[in-house]
Structures are given as C-alpha cells and as structure tokens.
Amino acid sequence: MGLFDFAKDMGKKLFGEDDDPAEKIKASIEADNPGITDLDVAYHDGSVELSGKADSAEAVEKAVLMAGNVKGVTDVKIDSMEAPAPAPEVEYYTIVSGDSLSKIAKKYYGNAMDYPRLFEANREVIKDADLIYPGQKIRIPPKSW
C-alpha cells in the first residue's frame, strides 16, 4: 500500500480554517479506532500521511478510508505504517450518484441483499447504510469474506 487518491471537495467536514487538520483527522480515526496504535497524522495542502502500528491490513485500509473521506483531503500516504501485508482480493469502490449499498452488493456479489456485508466492512466510514455520497471510497471485501 502506498498512496490513495480522494476527491478534495467531498466528504465529511471535520475541520475549518482555524483548526489543525492533522489533529482533527487523528481524533476522528481514534474515535472509531479500527486497530491502530501509536497513530500519527501529518497534513499538508490536502495530503495526509499516516504512521503507526496496525493490528491488520484491514485496520490500515479502514484508517486510510477514514482519513481520505474527509473534505479537504486529496490523498493519503501510508508508507510508514507498520502492518501485515494486505489481502490481495480486497477492492475499493468510489461511490457515484445513484448508488446504494444494495446496488453495489448486486454488482460485486450478485445479490442486493448482501449489502450488510459492505456496511459492516465500512462501518468506520459509513455510519448509516442509507447515507452514502458520490466520491466516497469504500472497501469491497471478497465474496468469501
């Protein structure tokens, strides 16, 4: 894993002009901690760099999505994150207008009723299964997950 790109003008609004973006992003990740210890967050001109120790590759993926789905973030780097190797079968999907978790589940799993699998895999990023937005990135766990 290295660099992930995100849509700068979309996402959850976490910080204003007078806030420290790195501190706000760090607090947000730690609030729903996906399994990261010694988390450090750096922010410069829309670019976020995460470092720390992760319990799993899934924890890193979730932390990247939590940081990247913040309004004002253009990319997330995780070059200095200590973590197990990612599972090669995990995919990422960028939500487009008209999408629903059911529609995405139908596309990837062949069954719209498998949407809870997507919701559970992205619980740190999606707080309500009915509230997703264009430009948001999510994890698509393998069918066998």
H or E, element range at 65: helix 57-68
Domain ranges of the chain: 3-82, 91-140
Q: What is the pLDDT of residues 85-97, one digit of tens each?
A: 766 678 899 999 9
pLDDT given for residue 33 in this prediction: 84
* Domain 91-140 falls under CATH 3.30.930.10: no
pTM over 0.85: no
Q: How confident is the model at residue 65 (pLDDT cuts 50, 70, 90)?
A: very high
How many CB atoms are located within 10 Å of the residue 31 CB? Answer: 9
Tens digits of per-residue pLDDT, 5-54?
888 888 889 898 899 999 999 999 999 888 899 999 999 999 999 999 99
Q: In the predicted model, is pLDDT for residue 111 greater than 80? A: yes
Cβ within 8 Å of residue 8, ≥6 positions away: 46, 71, 72, 73, 74
Specify the pLDDT at position 1. 47
What are phi and psi for residue 107, nearest 5 degrees?
Answer: -65, -45
Residue 38: closest CA among 76, 2, 83, 69: 83
Asked if 118 and 138 count as a contact pair (C-beta separation under 8 A), the reply is yes
Q: Which residue has the higher pLDDT, 60 or 80?
A: 60
If we measure between CA atoms, which residue out of 91, 82, 80, 31 comes closest to residue 53? 82
